[in-house]
Amino acid sequence: MPERLPADTYAAGGIDISSAAFWQQPMRERDRSFAALRAMPSVTFHPPIEIGSSTGGPGFWAATTHDDIQFVSRHPDPFCSGRGVGFSDIPQEYNEPFGSFLMTDAPRHTHLRGLISRAFTPKRVRQVEEQIQRQAHAIVTDAVDHGSCELVTGLSSRLPLWTISEMLGVPEERRVELRDAANLMVGAQDPELLATMDDPFTQVLTAGITMSVLGSEIAAERRIDPRDDLLTDLVQAEIDGQVLTDEEIGAFVVLLGVAGNDTTRNSISHGVMAFAHHPDQWELLRRDPEQHLPGAVDEIVRWASPVLTFRRTATADTHIGDQPIAEGDHVVMFYGSGNRDERTFDDPWTFDITRSSNDHVGFGGGGPHFCLGANLARAQLRSVFRELSTLVSSFEVGEPRLLRSAFVHGIEAIDCTFVPAG
């Protein structure tokens, strides 16, 4: 049985995935270290990460291969979510208010997820796709008409915010509040976005409270005046005969507000950037969008890996492969690394919208926490790139300003010029 090597073993050998400097590099540079870890016989142990609100602690096991990510994701017992899903622990009492069911385990996870899962089924998404397409048409036409724009504000951020706000029932005048709080929450590891806050934890806390209060205020309105939206479903829902508290409803808004905004927004920005750098793939998509859109959307998610990491905690002594894992140990899954695993993907660093098999882990590795919004995200990406394919013959992009984060593969800003079709 392999023993746990000292946490700094790999850093000493030049593979330092815990340092702040490591996460300042672009993904391609970082993947040199991940490729070395993927080639190791088993998961490896690393010191605590140096960015964000790290609380120190003993460090974490890194699951970097496609197989190990799937294994951990699909075994919620013993790899639980209820003790936190970020690198560092936040006080236990904040887990559920700020993570909702993302940070719970069965049976509570099953109950809470079940309250909203109906809104995300393929059938329900097909029903709303026409509205999404109409909205995408308006947003893309507006952006392309300007000729050039800062892509994140001018295009990428608009459809995700509209979609999740419509579904939840957030009125137009409060949508910017939701977006800004969600951005602050995922930006807590980036020093530039921390400018006005004391520390990352305070920033996450403040942003979470803003979204939670927003949710409970709208919920109060829905109790009096029900509508056809998720917040109405939530005020009417019961678990074991009990209606949800304001705090529980607020937690849904925090989770959906964050999960539904940044992920799809960053996928759109990374997607445009990928097509700008691979004009042959853009040509291919434009030639027959309906044939290539499904493959293109999944390749964008694999390529972008908008969510970089989630953590689990072992609830008992266990194993990953031959490697013993002790009760209480943290295991971090590196989705971006799994999506470049050369044992799963041919030429993983080639952006190829025609991949015949694309079993990426961009939406997670399977199991009970698999992304609830995957169908919705795909519908949004299809709509945006369908519209772009009819209006734009090529893109010219500048250097992106990347978010410094070990959690979200974010693009904060990137200049883009659209060369119109025809």
Write out the two tokens for 288: 């027959």
| Cβ-closest position to ligand HEM | 373
Q: Which of 156, 183, 263, 389 binds ligand HEM (CB under 6 A)?
A: 263
For ligand HEM, the closer CB: 301 or 320: 301
State the minimum distance, in angstroms, from the CB of residue 297 to ligand HEM.
9
Is residue 107 reached through a cis peptide bond, with omega within 30 degrees of 0 on the bond before it?
yes
Task: Rule CB under 6 A: say whether 306 interacts with ligand HEM.
Answer: yes
For ligand HEM, the closer CB: 15 or 188: 188
Task: Rule CB under 6 A: say whether 113 interacts with ligand HEM.
Answer: yes
State the minimum distance, in angstroms, from the CB of residue 27 to ligand HEM.
14
Which SS3 state, helix, strand or coil, does residue 362 take? coil
* 15-74 residues near ligand HEM, rule: CB under 6 A: 73
Task: Rule CB under 6 A: say whether 310 interacts with ligand HEM.
Answer: yes
Sheet strands side by side (includes 415-420)? 148-150, 415-420, 392-397
* 359-418 residues near ligand HEM, rule: CB under 6 A: 362-365, 367, 369-373, 376-377
Q: Which residues contact 420 (CB under 8 A, 6 or more apart)?
A: 144, 391, 392, 393
For ligand HEM, the closer CB: 101 or 334: 101
Name the helix (H) or strand (E) containing 11.
helix 9-12
Q: Which of 267, 337, 383, 405 binds ligand HEM (CB under 6 A)?
A: 267
State the minimum distance, in angstroms, from the CB of residue 334 to ligand HEM.
11
Q: Which of 208, 373, 232 is nearest to 301 (CA)?
A: 373
**DSSP result, 170-191:** --GGGHHHHHHHHHHHHTTT-G
Write out the two tokens for 310: 């989630």
283 alpha-carbon distance from chain centroid: 28
For ligand HEM, the closer CB: 369 or 386: 369
State the minimum distance, in angstroms, from the CB of residue 2 to ligand HEM.
26
Write out the two tokens for 123: 């059938």
* CB 332 within 8 Å of CB 47: no
Of 145-153, 202-210, 279-287, 305-313, the window that binds ligand HEM (rule: CB under 6 A) is 305-313
State the minimum distance, in angstroms, from the CB of residue 310 to ligand HEM.
5
For ligand HEM, the closer CB: 154 or 306: 306
State the minimum distance, in angstroms, from the CB of residue 301 to ligand HEM.
5
Task: Rule CB under 6 A: say whether 102 interacts with ligand HEM.
Answer: yes
* 137-196 residues near ligand HEM, rule: CB under 6 A: 164
Of 45-53, 304-312, 337-345, 382-390, the window that binds ligand HEM (rule: CB under 6 A) is 304-312
Q: Which residues contact 209 (CB under 8 A, 6 or more apart)?
A: none
Angle at 235 between CA 233 and CA 237, to 5 degrees: 65
Site string for ligand HEM, 318-357 (x = CB under 6 A): -----------------x----------------------
78-102 as b/e, with b when 16 or more CB fall inside 10 Å? bbbbbbbbbbbbbeeebbbbbbbbb
> Is the alpha carbon torsion for 77, 81, 82, 86 positive or negative?
positive
Q: Which of 240, 238, 253, 267 is nearest to 102 (CA)?
A: 253
Is residue 368 reached through a cis peptide bond, with omega within 30 degrees of 0 on the bond before it?
no
Site string for ligand HEM, 236-255 (x = CB under 6 A): -------------------x
**Interaction site with ligand HEM (CB under 6 A):** 73, 101-102, 113, 164, 255-256, 259-260, 263-264, 267, 301, 306-307, 310, 335, 362-365, 367, 369-373, 376-377
